[in-house]
């Protein structure tokens, strides 16, 4: 270890021959993009290793063991919990980034099996382009274009999780390199759906955030691309009526319901006044809550493009909801435009001040009361703050954003009080989760340590000691 906590240059260049010219990056200018997170403060690294094969990944892990250097596996750097890039403050143990971007082969799609084998660095968009040629898709939908290895490592959810589930539901098998003495390749890359042969090692790596192994290949279950799609924005008659709307749609239109997003007035206002979106209901004030629903399905034989089948179902559903007295208004919106206000929320909020974003989930029955209480507990610790929530209510997810006035300087103590208030309410008062979709990482390490049961923490550490006895894998801010 060199004096500044970095691996000595000579040690890094031991890998030159094994990884080739493109495999070892040390030029300070080239290093910058690997150190800038999507959100948060940038870190530094003295080297980025870019293996292009599983053998090269093994060589990197063996090297890290020899020199006790920590490896930070990296995909597309869209993670939101601070684990995708080196920490801003350098720790004692030297660390380097391992970018999987060169493990980027053309996805192997099997249209009969409806599966794909994908290398870790391949982007979601590339997989979906290849799958679309066969009328298939990996239906995990989000406002970013992550790499498949990163998606498996974080167990990505997304706006269509209500219908399709998360990454865990789509991973049939995977291949990963662990950091035991042999740098074992855990080869569980099966595309079989029925494969009930004891514990599934693949799923030990899903959601592990790079701490258990470096994922190199993932076998995925794909789904049929819908041929008909329609969207509507609704105004529920009350907060509680949102759940009536959701249940009605699930009971009577469940096979069509693809997404159910709820946006508060504060969030919609931010999107409309500061972002680029157009009001779904024309010129009027944003209602306390607005709901975006999406229906998708198959128009049936003889209808190549699926026709208006989804729209017919949406229109029928709106009439039923109005008759029941659960909505006061509802408009069908072209699916190419319907999501714009929803996607413009984050951009709009950022222009209003400093945004503290909490990615929480609560049991669905508690959603309306949770959001009322969130406003109360935030007002107690930060009277000037605005709660501007939106989220995937269909699966209990809420992006509970708290906007503090002023963008220049965040008071860390105030931020911590807000965090304790929102996460305390979520976990201790309503039995929810402090991390709905984004995973652990340095951002959520304290809550993992404070709230995950002792037995869970013990087993996680025991497992870590088996797959990584020297502690060379994963972001140093992870709690395991």
Ligand X SMILES: Cc1cc2nc3c(=O)[nH]c(=O)nc-3n(C[C@H](O)[C@H](O)[C@H](O)COP(=O)(O)OP(=O)(O)OC[C@H]3O[C@@H](n4cnc5c(N)ncnc54)[C@H](O)[C@@H]3O)c2cc1C
Residues lying near ligand X in the complex (CB under 6 A) are found at 38, 72-80, 83-84, 100, 120, 142-144, 146-147, 149-151, 153-154, 156-159, 209-210, 214-215, 437-438, 475
Q: How far is the CB of 178 from ligand X (least distance, A)?
A: 11
Residue 172 CB partners (closer than 8 Å, separation 6+): 115, 190, 191, 192, 193, 195, 202, 219, 220, 221
Q: Which two tokens stand for residue 22?
A: 């493109």
Q: Which residue is nearest to ligand X (CB)?
A: 150
DSSP E strands in 50-127: the ranges are 70-74, 95-99, 108-110, 115-119
Distances (CA, A) of 409 to 36, 176, 355, 406, 414: 20, 42, 12, 7, 11
Q: How far is the CB of 199 from ligand X (least distance, A)?
A: 20
d(CA 317, CA 294): 12
Distances (CA, A) of 2 to 14, 46, 66, 68, 92: 15, 11, 15, 12, 10
Q: Which is nearer to ligand X, 326 or 339 (CB)?
A: 339
Q: How far is the CB of 144 from ligand X (least distance, A)?
A: 4
Q: Which is nearer to ligand X, 350 or 375 (CB)?
A: 350
Q: How far is the CB of 142 from ligand X (least distance, A)?
A: 4
Q: Which is nearer to ligand X, 73 or 297 (CB)?
A: 73
d(CA 266, CA 285): 11
Q: Which is nearer to ligand X, 221 or 369 (CB)?
A: 221
Q: How far is the CB of 218 from ligand X (least distance, A)?
A: 9
The count of other CB atoms within 10 Å of the CB of residue 449 is 12
d(CA 111, CA 400): 40
Closest alpha carbon to 126 in 109, 114, 143: 109
Q: How far is the CB of 171 from ligand X (least distance, A)?
A: 12
Q: How far is the CB of 453 from ligand X (least distance, A)?
A: 23
Q: Which is nearer to ligand X, 148 or 289 (CB)?
A: 148
Q: Is the dihedral of CA 134, 139, 140, 142 positive or negative?
A: positive
Q: Please say whether the beta carbons of 212 and 178 come within 8 A.
A: yes
User: What residues does 291 pair with on adjacent strands?
Assistant: 234, 262
Cα-Cα-Cα-Cα dihedral of 59, 93, 98, 203, to 10°? 90
Q: How far is the CB of 451 from ligand X (least distance, A)?
A: 20
d(CA 412, CA 459): 33
Q: Which is nearer to ligand X, 128 or 156 (CB)?
A: 156
Q: Which is nearer to ligand X, 75 or 280 (CB)?
A: 75
Q: How far is the CB of 184 from ligand X (least distance, A)?
A: 15
Quickly tell me which residue has 């209990």 as its tokens.
396
Q: Which is nearer to ligand X, 121 or 330 (CB)?
A: 121
Q: Which is nearer to ligand X, 46 or 237 (CB)?
A: 46
């Amino acid at each position: 270890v060199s004096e500044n906590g970095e691996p000595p240059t000579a040690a890094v260049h031991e890998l030159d021959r094994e990884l080739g010219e493109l495999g070892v990056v040390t030029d300070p200018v080239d290093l910058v993009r690997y150190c800038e997170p999507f959100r948060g403060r940038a870190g530094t690294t003295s080297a980025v290793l870019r293996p292009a094969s599983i053998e090269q990944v093994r060589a990197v892990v063996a090297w890290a063991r020899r020199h006790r250097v920590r490896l930070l596996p990296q995909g597309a750097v869209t993670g939101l919990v601070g684990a995708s890039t080196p920490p801003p403050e350098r720790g004692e143990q030297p660390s380097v980034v391992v970018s999987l971007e060169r493990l980027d082969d053309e996805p192997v799609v099997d249209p009969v099996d409806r599966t794909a084998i994908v290398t870790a660095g391949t982007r979601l968009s590339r997989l979906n382009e290849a799958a679309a040629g066969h009328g298939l898709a990996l239906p995990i939908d989000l406002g970013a274009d992550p790499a498949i290895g990163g998606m498996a490592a974080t167990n990505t959810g997304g706006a269509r999780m209500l219908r399709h589930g998360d990454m865990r539901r789509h991973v049939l098998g995977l291949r990963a390199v662990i950091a035991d003495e042999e740098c074992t390749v855990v080869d569980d890359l099966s595309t079989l759906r029925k494969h009930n042969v004891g514990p599934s090692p693949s799923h030990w790596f899903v959601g592990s955030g790079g701490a258990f192994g470096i994922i190199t290949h993932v076998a995925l279950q794909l789904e049929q691309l819908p041929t008909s799609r329609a969207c509507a924005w609704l105004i529920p008659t009350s907060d509680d009526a949102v759940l009536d709307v959701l249940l009605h749609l699930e009971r009577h239109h469940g096979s069509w319901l693809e997404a159910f997003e709820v946006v508060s007035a504060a969030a919609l206002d931010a999107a409309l006044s500061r972002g680029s979106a157009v009001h779904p209901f024309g010129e009027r004030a944003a209602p306390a809550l607005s709901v975006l629903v999406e229906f998708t399905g198959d128009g049936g034989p003889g209808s190549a493009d699926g026709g208006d089948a989804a729209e017919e179902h949406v229109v029928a559903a709106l009439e039923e909801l109005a008759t029941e007295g659960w909505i006061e208004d509802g408009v069908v919106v072209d699916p190419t435009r319907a999501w714009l206000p929803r996607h413009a929320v984050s951009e709009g909020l950022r222009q209003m001040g400093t945004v503290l974003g909490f990615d929480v989930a609560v049991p669905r029955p508690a959603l309306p009361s949770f959001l009322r209480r969130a406003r109360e507990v935030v007002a107690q610790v930060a009277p000037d703050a605005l709660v501007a929530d939106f989220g995937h209510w269909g699966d209990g997810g809420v992006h509970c954003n708290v906007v503090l006035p002023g963008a220049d300087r965040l008071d860390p103590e105030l931020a911590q009080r807000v965090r304790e208030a929102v996460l305390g309410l979520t976990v201790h008062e309503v039995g929810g989760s402090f991390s709905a979709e984004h995973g652990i990482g340095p951002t959520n390490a304290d809550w993992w340590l404070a709230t995950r049961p002792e037995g869970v923490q013990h087993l996680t550490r025991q497992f870590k000691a088996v797959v990584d006895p020297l502690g060379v894998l994963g972001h140093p801010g992870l709690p395991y």
